[in-house]
Each structure stands twice: as C-alpha cells, then as structure tokens.
Amino acid sequence: MGHMADPRAGTLAEPDDLVDVPHLVASYYNLQPDPEDPAQQVVFGTSGHRGSSLDAAFNETHILATTQAIVDYRRSQGIDGPLFIGRDTHGLSEPAWASALEVLVANDVRVLIDDRDGYTPTPAVSHAILRANAVSTSSTTGGGSTNGGGSNAGAADGIVVTPSHNPPTDGGFKYNPPHGGPADSDATKVIAARANELIRAGLSGVKRVPFATAKQRAETYDFLGSYVDDLPNVVDLDAIREAGVRIAADPLGGASVAYWAEIAERHDLQLNVVNELVDPTWRFMPLDWDGKIRMDCSSPSAMAELRRFLEETPEFDIATGNDADSDRHGIVTRDAGLMNPNHFLAVAIDHLFGGARPAWPATARIGKTLVSSSMIDRVAGALDKPLVEVPVGFKWFVPGLLDGSFGFGGEESAGASFLRFDGSVWTTDKDGIILALLASEILARTGKSPSQRYAELVAEHGDPAYARIDAPASREEKAKLAALSPDAVTATTLAGEEITAKLTEAPGNRAAIGGLKVTTESAWFAARPSGTEDVYKIYAESFKGPDHLAQVQEEAKAVVQAALS
C-alpha cells in the first residue's frame, strides 16, 4: 500500500496544528547546535540546507557559518560580482536572511536585496542572476557549476532563503552559483564541509557586522519588476488576454503573493489572487496527506481549498497554485480538478514542442527525470523530438537550459522551466509561475483545458497508471541500493513482460541514479533510497492499468530485496 493517509487530510488546520512562531524564532537565536551530532550539522540536500530551529538543525549558528562558507567558496572560484538574495514567507526565512546579510556585507560582498523589502520567488532570483551575467558575458559558457577560477570575474550568484513547500517549522538556505540554478554537489560538498568546520571552531573565522549596518550597505534590486515585465518573452500573455481566460491564482501564502497581483495589473489579465494572506503559521492551509501543513501545490490534500473554490466559482476558467518559494506549480481545471503533475508535464511538452514555439531550434531537447511518466516518452516519440532522461534533481537540466539545448526540463514533483520564445534561457531553476501561466496559454490557444488535452493524449498513447510507494529499508540496505550495479538484478521478466533495460545510470547523461530503474515494453519501476527516512521509494507506472501496476510494484519489491540480499 502507499501512504497511510491522515483522517484529517484535506481539512483546514486547527489551532493545535499551528507552529508557535515566537518560539520558533527565539529557538533560531537561542539553541546552539551540537557540531558532533549529524542531525545538527549543515547538510546540503538537492535544494540546500533545511531543518527546524526547534531541533537545533536550522539556527543562527548554521546560517552564519554557511554564509561565510559561501563567501569562501565564491572567492575560491573567482566569483566577485553581485550576490542576489531573496527569501520566502516561512517564519525562519527573515531571521536567516538577516543573519546572511550581516556576514555578506562584513565580507565586502556586493549584496542586492528586494527593493520593496518583500518576498522573492526562487525563479525571480534565478532570473536576476542570469540577467546580470548576460550583461557581463556576451555568451553563456560552461554548463558545470564551476567554470574554474578567473572566468568568473564579475559574475553574479545568489542565495534563496527557503525550504520550498516544507512545513512552517522549517527553514531552508539554498545557493545558486553563476549559472543561476541549484548548486551541484561539487559546490555544496565544499560549502557544507567548510560550514561545519566553522561551527566546530565556535564561528571563529566568521565575519559579521550589525544588521543596521548590513541593511544600510546592501543595494536594492527590483526583483518583481524585472521578472514580471519580462514574462511576455516566455509565455504568450497576449493570447491569454485576447481569449479572456479567467484565472484564479493561489500563492498558498508564499513568495509569489505580490507577483500575481502585478502580473494581472501590468499585463491586463483577468486574473484574481484568491488568497492574499501571508501568515507564517499557514492557518489557512488544508492539511497534507500525513496531517502536516505543507505548501505542496501538487498534493490533492494541500490543494483541497483551491479545488473546492474552482468548483464553486463559475466565473473562473482555471486555477493555479504555487508553493512557498514558487518553484512548483499546481494546475486545477474545471473538468478534472487538480492535475497529476506528470499529466501536465506531458501536455506542456506536447504544446511547446508541437508548434507553440516555432523559433526554438529543431534540435532543442526535452528533459525529464527518470521517475517521470513514460507518457512523456510517447509524446516525444510522436513529435519526433529528442528526449533526455536524467537522474532525479533539477540541477541536471541546468547546463541544457543555460545553453538552449534543452527546450524544457521538468520533474514529476511539479518543478519545471523552459526557454524564452527566441530559444534563449529564461531561468535555470524551477519556475512555478511560468508553468501556471502556460496552463492558461494552452487554454487560450487550443480552446481546451490542459486536462482535456491530456485526455486526447491518452486516446492517442494509452492511459498510464502511476504511483509512488515506500518500502522499509535499513541504512545499510539504502547504501547498498544507491550503489547497485545492473548485474545485481537477476530477474528476466517483470509482471509478465520481458525486461528491456536495467539501469543504474541515467540514459540521457550516464550519471548515477543512486538506485535502480527496470523497464519493460509497457511498464517500469524505479527504486531509490530516501534521503530522510529509513525507507526506499518505489516509483512505478504501467500502460496496462492499475492491476498491472500493483503487480509491477509487488515484483519490484521482490527484485530489490533479491538484489540487496
């Protein structure tokens, strides 16, 4: 079985569910992490360091040390341009942003903060970095997160203070190097190791100035205007306006709250922000599947209110949601409710590569993660467009989006970005705002909702059943799974079909997938260890329906157990 759902999933949070914000913020300043406890060290996952101040996992000490480590890293890479810093609406984001500012300014880094002293979506920070670097370099060079020393002179980079869709108790701190996307592990390993070294040294080696000084010395940048005014170069806002598409946008109390109102205003769209509240307890959020408050716009439970709103409010054609830092999108349609992220990715790819972007080079490739739906493979095949399958993590799309060789990069967890109309880079980080707007472009240009378009794709390619389940695994088993070789799989069939591939490297770029993917003609499964819990995740899909999917899942567990034994 999948998750055991909480009986209150999809219902509004109650007073007992809410975080005590003053206590959360006081803990940020008052709790001292134990540098020898792995749970209290700086650890960069795919999207930076995350944790709660209540567990001594995200405290002032961590952020002062991590910021100094970022300063040391940029120095070692010859990065000496401005640093753009943005924050989301989590209760710990402003304290962490303030701590970072004190260290950056003390180290003579030229820091750019939001000119409205407001919240900044992740894509707006990526957009700002790329814009600054396009001015300083006539061509985009290199796809890695480091271009070696001197070539980074004058280059800008950035920090986003966000734990994305994580619960209100959490803080997050993310570094984006000059390529504008999430830092690769070659950067984050160095930064985390240095940060933990500084914490062990009692922060000796960390420079800081008082906040008032830091704020005074920081420069301001119009994140909102630069981003919002540039949108017509990536999404067909004229078509949306002319078709009179009526949009309900829900920022879910996140960083895009002021952006959506400005998008409506500046581009004259029939767009209403259905919830303008920002509240670090997120008391207006329905509980997620496990009873936690999580601003996950791809979760049917978390999006229960917006789904209900669209059903009850006939004056809107489509509704969209974003998570707290707006790097994810959720699409709600009249005919189908909240779309499965895989379904929308397939529709978006079909639309963009099927004629909506004629100026894109014919060689522009479609990027997908290897746990995204095979519907995308079938769409790519029908369009005769090259498809590249990469490991889980948006960082794998960065080089291709940067040099324009990827028209689109998307992951099954509802994070994606794509190129401008002219085939040049828009963002190299996930952009939930342009994906939400693209849903309205599709409706405007085709007269069909994205879910109606998906039904047409199903009629053409079959109807895949897709699910993710968790299975228990010890730390040792997880390590073994991450390091499997294809030979460890002895099975020759899966759910009655011949196995066509056993992968431990992504076919698109030969990078290790940290697990296993097994495919047959009409089904596949992928098994990956969880980074946070003692489980491994099994993603599986079948074009033969739910019963066959269940069989694939059962056999997947047996295949993995046999390989681990």
* Length in residues, the chain: 565
Q: Is 451 a known active-site residue? A: no
Assign residue 550 the CATH number of its domain.
Answer: 3.30.310.50
Q: What percent of the chain has pLDDT over 70?
A: 96
Name the residue range of residue 257's domain: 226-461
Q: What is the mean pLDDT of residues 452-481?
A: 95
Mean predicted lDDT score pLDDT of the chain: 95
Query: Model confidence over 191-237: pLDDT tens digits?
Result: 999 999 999 999 999 999 999 999 999 999 999 999 999 999 999 99
Identify the active-site residue in 47, 164, 373, 374.
164
Query: Model confidence over 490-535: pLDDT tens digits?
Result: 999 999 999 999 999 999 999 999 999 999 999 999 999 987 788 8
Assign residue 252 the CATH number of its domain.
Answer: 3.40.120.10
The domain tally of the chain equals 3
Q: Which helix (H) or strand (E) holds 269?
A: none
β-strand 157-161 against 83-87: which pairing, if any? parallel
Terminal CA-CA length for the chain: 23
Confidence band, pLDDT 50/70/90 cuts, at residue 145: very low
Query: Model confidence over 73-100: pLDDT tens digits?
Result: 999 999 999 999 999 999 999 999 999 9
Mark whether 371 and 238 lie in a shared domain: yes
Residue 272 placed within a domain = yes
The burial class, CB within 10 Å (0-12 / 13-18 / 19+), for 219 is: exposed
Q: Are 371 and 341 in contact (CB under 8 A)?
A: no
Mark whether 237 and 291 lie in a shared domain: yes
Residue 22 placed within a domain = no
The burial class, CB within 10 Å (0-12 / 13-18 / 19+), for 403 is: middle
| pTM of structure | 0.95
* pLDDT for the residue 147: 38
Q: Are 254 and 90 in contact (CB under 8 A)?
A: no
* pLDDT for the residue 1: 39
Q: What is the mean pLDDT of residues 23-36?
A: 98
Q: In the numeric block, which tokens belong to residue 30?
A: 């008052």
The three-state secondary structure class of 157 is: strand
Mark whether 513 and 454 lie in a shared domain: no
> Of 406, 432, 461, which closes a domain?
461
Euclidean distance between CA atoms 410 and 390, whole angstroms: 10
